[in-house]
Amino acid sequence: MDRTADVIIMGAGIAGTATAYYLAKGGAEVVVCEKGRIAGEQSSRNWGFVRQQGRDPAEIPLMMEANKIWRGLERELNADLEWLSAGNMVTFDTAEEGAGWEAWRQTAANFGLDATILSRAEAEAVVPGNAFDCHGAIFTESDGQAEPNKVTAALARAAEGRGAEFLTECAVFEVETAAGAVSGVVTEQGIIRAPVVVCAAGAWSGRMLRTLGLKLPQMWIKGSVARTTPGPIVSHTATWTGVAFRQRRDGTFNIAQRSADHDLTFESLLNLPSFLGSFARNKRDIKLHLNGLAFDLLAGSFSKAALAKELVANRTLDPTPNHKVLDHTLRELHRLLPQTAEVRIDRTWAGYIDMAPDMLPTLDALTNPKGLVLATGFSGHGFGMGPIVGRLISELILTGQPSLNLDAFRFSRFSDGTKLTPHSVV
Ligand SMILES: Cc1cc2nc3c(=O)[nH]c(=O)nc-3n(C[C@H](O)[C@H](O)[C@H](O)COP(=O)(O)OP(=O)(O)OC[C@H]3O[C@@H](n4cnc5c(N)ncnc54)[C@H](O)[C@@H]3O)c2cc1C
């Protein structure tokens, strides 16, 4: 293969696929290169929460716009996405925690968001019959949920219908540049030339960009999820209490815990200085492990040829879920929602989240090299953002003028002295 395109997208997760959809809609010739299968990594492994609630203030305008897109997305894509808009609720245990949420609510209200603080009794009306041990909750009624296994696949079909081409099992080994500008990519299926390359490579973005001498700090955090057998319908509000859960239309629940695992790699050490603050804040919730991953991904940190081998050897990152945590999560679900006493775990999975030090994505068109566009680093909450990211990145490429301000998401914040503190509440 030796061919050309207007834009090459590296990675067919929701960010790359939504970008391809909007670019194709705008008339661009797009090729998406995916080392494994469409949405094989984070974009099919997430909880499916589509929330504005709890976001860093910089993300609130994006998520409010995303919410509008989500409401019409099934119609637009002519696909069942299992979209349900029954809100998002997070409980809190103490008045002090409640005060933190009230401060966030006021910030969100300035953007016009409909979040409200609920008493313990009001939370009962949202999730009836619950046994939550909470002081109160925050609730955003306009939030929703959708099925990750369906959304990116539907966006890809719609993008293909408008002429975008998806090459699966086609890892990008290298982004080529000439005279300070992107000129194309070297893939396992050959060379593709284009003046614009979008890096939407999820957990792999940091490693891919390092081959260009660019430093995107990323930490892989493993989240484990279980799906239960169907139970009686309790509530379709996506809820975060002792357990995070969402009940789907068929009565099954996705359940997970706040705690997560970090499998150490050489990259963990490289990125450690950028993450010390977040680790200190979240040390109770993150467990460190040294296992085979550290050795499997070692050589690729030093050589492009070894990285190419690792991309092919890891077509789809499929980490082992933390079964101990998930068994405990089911017991907690039974305790907190007594109506679920009969549900059992039906299947489990895990995914590596691409965490940034400030938990904000990077959405930027670089000038060095010119033509390199970044849409990555979604830090565990990029599923809900997917559609608006696709639209904004396509605007950035097609007109140079995104319709929302992306300054907070600029790549240079990692090197211009900006204090990288997470402001998202969850
Ligand atoms: C357990 C878990 C729970 C989550 N829960 C939520 C939630 O409830 N709500 C929410 O909004 N978000 C959630 N998220 C986060 C959300 O899933 C991600 O932020 C989002 O899917 C990121 O999309 P992406 O396209 O950037 O990355 P990905 O979906 O990871 O896609 C990146 C793709 O790039 C490909 N790739 C990488 N390198 C190359 C290369 N060199 N060549 C070709 N292809 C390459 C990969 O194979 C992959 O398919 C969760 C994530 C996890 C893991």
Q: For residue 47, tell me if it sits in a domain.
A: yes
> Distance (Å, rounded) from C-alpha 302 to C-alpha 322?
30
- Cβ of 314 closer than 6 Å to ligand 1, yes or no, is no
Whether 426 is covered by a domain: the verdict is no
pLDDT at 424: 63
Residue 46 covered by a domain: yes
Q: How many CA atoms lie within 13 A of 182 on its CB side?
A: 32
Can you tell me the distance from the alpha carbon of 17 to that of 269, in angstroms, rounded to the nearest whole number?
31
237 domain-assigned = yes
* Closest residue by CA, ligand 1 atom 51: 46
Nearest CA to ligand 1 atom 37: 201
C-alpha 44 – ligand 1 centre gap (Å): 8
Give which of 47, 13, 46 is closest to 32, Cα–Cα. Answer: 13
Structure tokens at 152: 């990116």
Placement of tokens 């975060």 in the chain: 240
Rounded to whole angstroms, the Cα distance separating 424 from 315 reads: 31
Residue 419 lies in a domain: no
Q: Is the CB of 11 under 6 A from ligand 1?
A: yes
Indicate the burial class of 82 (C-beta count within 10 angstroms; 0-12, 13-18, 19 or more).
Answer: middle
Give the number of residues written for the chain.
426
State the CATH number of the domain containing residue 121: 3.50.50.60
Angle between helices 386-398 and 14-25 (to 10 degrees): 50
Distance 254 CA to ligand 1 centre (A): 18
- Backbone CA torsion sign across 225, 226, 227, 233: negative
Provide block-wise average pLDDT over 10 residues at a time, the chain (426 residues): 92 98 98 98 98 97 98 98 98 96 97 96 95 96 98 98 98 97 97 98 97 96 97 97 96 94 91 85 85 90 94 96 97 97 98 95 98 97 98 98 98 94 67
pLDDT digits (tens, 9 = 90+) for 126-162: 999 999 989 999 999 999 999 999 999 999 999 999 9
192 falls within a domain:
yes
Could you tell me the distance, in angstroms and rounded to a whole number, from the CA of residue 5 to the centre of ligand 1? 24
Work out how many domains the chain is built from and give that number: 1
DSSP 283: T
Q: Is the CB of 118 under 6 A from ligand 1?
A: no
Residue 319: CB within 6 Å of ligand 1? no
Q: What is the pLDDT of residue 311?
A: 97
Question: Is the pTM here over 0.95, yes or no?
Answer: yes
Ligand 1 center from residue 205 Cα (angstroms): 11
Return the ∠ at Cα 159 (arms to 359 and 375), rounded to 5°.
Answer: 20
What CA–CA distance (Å, rounded) separates 222 from 238? 21
Distance CA 225, CA 47 (A): 7
Candidate from 21, 37, 43 with most ligand 1 atoms within 8 A of CB, to mutate = 43
Domain holding 192, by residue range, is 2-414
Distance CA 39, CA 156 (A): 10
Cis peptide before 195 (omega within 30 of 0): no
> Is residue 42 one of the residues assigned to a domain?
yes
Extract the tokens encoding 388: 């608006």
Backbone dihedral angles phi then psi of residue 370, each to the nearest 5 degrees: -65, 140
The preferred substitution site among 8, 22, 46 for testing ligand 1, maximizing ligand atoms within 8 Å of CB, is 46
Q: How far is the CA of 229 from the centre of ligand 1 (A)?
A: 25
- 378 C-alpha to ligand 1 centroid (Å): 8
Domain assignment of residue 422, yes or no: no
Answer yes or no: is the C-beta of 70 below 6 A from any ligand 1 atom.
no
What are the two backbone dihedrals, phi and then psi, of residue 102, each rounded to the nearest 5 degrees?
Answer: -65, -40
Q: What is the pLDDT of residue 1?
A: 65
